Amino acid sequence: MNNGNLGNPIGRPQRCILFVDRGASLSIGKNVGISSTAIVAHHQITIGNNVKLGGGVCIYDTDFHSLDPKSRQNASEDSAQKINKPVSIGNNVFIGAHSTILKGVSIGDNSIIGACSVVTKNIPENEIWAGNPAKFIKKQSADA
């Protein structure tokens, strides 16, 4: 991993993919549990402290390719036109297995993402969201 900051040892014996592009950053806080996760940073991904990522979670801060079909036919145009936006995951967040967090998303402290969810927009702190696309389920107590 290049340009990364690991606060402490992470994960379980399952293989994880952590990719950090040149000029991008990935910051992982303390006491973070990661299992069979793919994290791809083309811009910036920040993961807070005490975060748990279920098996098969994917976190991307990029579209990987241009949305314009003509640009995708040329590798340099395709790369130049992809959209990258930072991802921020707060403290004490739990993201259920096989969920996907997409570019530009911020997840607030103490929030929970249900298994197999696709998160496409910001989630405030102390909330539970689930589904594809993820939708608000309920507010939870900050003390929970």
How many domains does the chain divide into?
1
For the stretch 16-62, pLDDT in tens is 889 999 999 999 999 999 988 999 999 999 999 999 999 999 999 99
- Which pLDDT does position 3 carry in this prediction? 47
Where in the sequence is the domain holding 84, given as residue range(s)? Answer: 4-139
Domain presence at residue 64:
yes
Domain presence at residue 133:
yes
Domain presence at residue 96:
yes
Assign 73 to helix, strand or coil: helix
Domain presence at residue 65:
yes
Whether residue 65 lies in the annotated active site = yes
14 by Cβ neighbours in 10 Å (0-12 / 13-18 / 19+) ranks as exposed
- Which pLDDT does position 2 carry in this prediction? 41
Task: Give the pLDDT mean for 68-83.
Answer: 80
Q: Which CATH number does the domain housing residue 131 bear? A: 2.160.10.10
CB 24 within 8 A of CB 39: no
For the stretch 89-141, pLDDT in tens is 999 999 999 999 999 999 999 999 999 999 999 999 999 999 999 999 999 97
Element (H, E) at 76: helix 75-81
pLDDT for residue 68 is more than 70: yes
Between residues 68 and 88, the one the model is more confident about: 88
Domain presence at residue 118:
yes
Domain presence at residue 144:
no
Q: Give me the catalytic one of 42, 43, 65, 98.
A: 65
Domain presence at residue 41:
yes
Domain presence at residue 15:
yes
